[in-house]
Structure 1
């Protein structure tokens, strides 16, 4: 699966499944969206009370469990963590807020473009700019330091939590929240969503599918392996949208999107920059967490809290555009991520900081 053919096949399957999930009930151009789905889960467990985005998305659960199952089968599961966990948590919040200003994660950005949403172009450009900035700091020695081997049970906790959440969903647990209108009310049947997530989770684990990694590797090494998977997602999702009549070319009247170009751009600058520092996009972090990576599990918790903060404080965009609070938050978070980038870069933090680091 490590050859390019494997990741292209994976991308084709993900693109097809994404369109089929829309056919079965998910919002248009949202067969998969890690940011949107984690936002819905945050609402589903009551972390925010935005009534139109509350649902326990089985796709996310399936992604984590699929990665867990296949990594256990292939003896690739490894519990590890301890690499600047709170910094990762903060970066997870930053990435999520940036994605919700844009209204989508990198995967949905590609799916939106495949559905004809031209607003995604500005998101892609911003995402690439954010990655380029992140790569600049990588070249300056940015590092969140090494992680450490942990007891296996530490790695089991994230899959266990996801399994427990699924049990609550199918049991009809009365304390969960479910949207009666809006994107949160639109979803494929539970078991179809779970199976779709499991399939994509297995394939993403085997191929290391990651759009951040794809663009980063193109910049650093001129390596097109990872980016070819997302090109395949685009092509096959585009074909599927054309077949089912979902394709709608233009900027206006796109599903769960806005036409505020500056903030589409800047939101994804945040998401791209933060994701490079974290070492992967939201999809990749979810897969790594399923493999036992505690640092990625902490990052996913940052996404969850970031989604709650975004909706509780009015930072997330709507179809009308970015909110005033959301615009202010983007500038604040850009300043925060700049500080994180500088202070964790060896050649920028100064020799004194380096000396302290090496003596610990």
Structure 2
């Protein structure tokens, strides 16, 4: 019961912070969005040139550093890696493509629901369907093989790189890109956003917040622990949106969202399925990366690269709807997820004699 109270409290704090970040400048229903923020960072670094989504989001750096600091202080900084790095990178790319079809990560899905965006319902259904696909293959022996103990220096590189991003954000050298309009130009003050990330990163490290894990654990074990955290985020953010006048119930006219139900659904199928295979949602991957898991670092780099190619090759959706390129990419991602799931499931391979 004590653990459940802790994650409910943590979820409530995340919900409060998400609403406050919107009041201080972040786009509506985007107090936090791991996919959108990594995409913006890719733009800020010049990896993609969509002028409206370029900014080094300090919330991301805060999440990583908050997890790192708590892990070190609790003597839980455990540096491991080497588990199917190429597959993890590819899964990160595909999860990002799916998220940018929906226009949000699992955390933003909850924030969109709390803001009255009914398009997120189809996203949630697709997300759950994707998780069910992943669970099917987990039950058939899916594995990305074991990881190995690594030197501490391997785990320190990623948090250090995030310190470097903070420096670049503050000093704003000419080679860093900053949007002057659009979602990338909408942001809370740097140090408030950084502090928000540090707090949420610390809370997520202690409670293991993960929506994928929450739905997966409830389906497999009827364990509601992780799910309670996101129910708390939903409830508190809903109340905050009502207080500040952000709540807008409906499908049309939602901020940074589109109304194409099929592709909202399929985009989140990719996110749910890919995240189950990875062992956690994009938020969880950032937290694990901060705690020394270099497999999660590889996944985050895949997410970053996915954010870059999604805009360079017109794969990302917009408020006007999905692009044809994006629709093709999502279908290809589902096919590749099926192949990865099958060929990494020991029971299925043995059943048909595949070595």
TM-score by length of 1: 0.97
SS in 1 for 2:32: coil
The CA deviation at 1:108 is 0.2
Tell me which residue corresponds to 1:288: 288
The CA deviation at 1:45 is 0.0
> Runs (4+) of structure 1 moved beyond 4 Å?
351-354
The CA deviation at 1:351 is 6.6
Tell me which residue corresponds to 1:93: 93
- Residue correspondence of structure 1 range 121-140 to structure 2 within 5 A: 121-140=121-140
The CA deviation at 1:300 is 0.1
The CA deviation at 1:2 is 6.8
* Superposed CA offset, 1:56-107 (max 9, x none): 0000000000000000000000110000011000000000000000000000
Tell me which residue corresponds to 1:62: 62
- Structure 1 residues 184 and 260 mapped into 2: Cα distance closer, same or farther (>3 Å)? same
The CA deviation at 1:348 is 1.2
Instruction: Tell me how far apart the structure 1 counterparts of residues 350 and 42 of structure 2 sit (CA, whole Å).
Output: 40
* Superposed CA offset, 1:84-134 (max 9, x none): 011000000000000000000000000000000000000000000000000
Structure 2 residue 216 is the aligned partner of structure 1 residue 216:
yes
Tell me which residue corresponds to 2:178: 178
The CA deviation at 1:353 is 7.4
Instruction: Tell me how far apart the structure 2 counterparts of residues 343 and 41 of structure 1 sit (CA, whole Å).
Output: 33
Partners of 1:2 and 1:206 within 8 A in 2: no
Unmatched tracts of structure 1, length 5 or more: none
Tell me which residue corresponds to 1:343: 343
* Superposed CA offset, 1:124-166 (max 9, x none): 0000000000000000000000000000000001100000110
The CA deviation at 1:238 is 0.3
Tell me which residue corresponds to 2:228: 228
Tell me which residue corresponds to 1:118: 118
Tell me which residue corresponds to 1:325: 325
Structure 2 residue 281 is the aligned partner of structure 1 residue 270:
no
- Structure 1 residues 353 and 67 mapped into 2: Cα distance closer, same or farther (>3 Å)? farther
- Residue correspondence of structure 1 range 238-257 to structure 2 within 5 A: 238-257=238-257
Partners of 1:2 and 1:207 within 8 A in 2: no
* Superposed CA offset, 1:252-311 (max 9, x none): 000000000000000000000000000000000000000000000000000000001100
Tell me which residue corresponds to 2:78: 78
Instruction: Tell me how far apart the structure 2 counterparts of residues 24 and 174 of structure 1 sit (CA, whole Å).
Output: 26
The CA deviation at 1:349 is 1.8
Partners of 1:96 and 1:271 within 8 A in 2: yes
SS in 1 for 2:117: coil
The CA deviation at 1:33 is 0.1
Unmatched tracts of structure 2, length 5 or more: none
Tell me which residue corresponds to 2:26: 26
SS in 1 for 2:101: helix
Task: Count residues in correspondence.
Answer: 355
The CA deviation at 1:350 is 2.5
* Superposed CA offset, 1:18-72 (max 9, x none): 0000000000000000000000000000000000000000000000000000000
CA RMSD of aligned residues (A): 1.1
TM-score by length of 2: 0.99
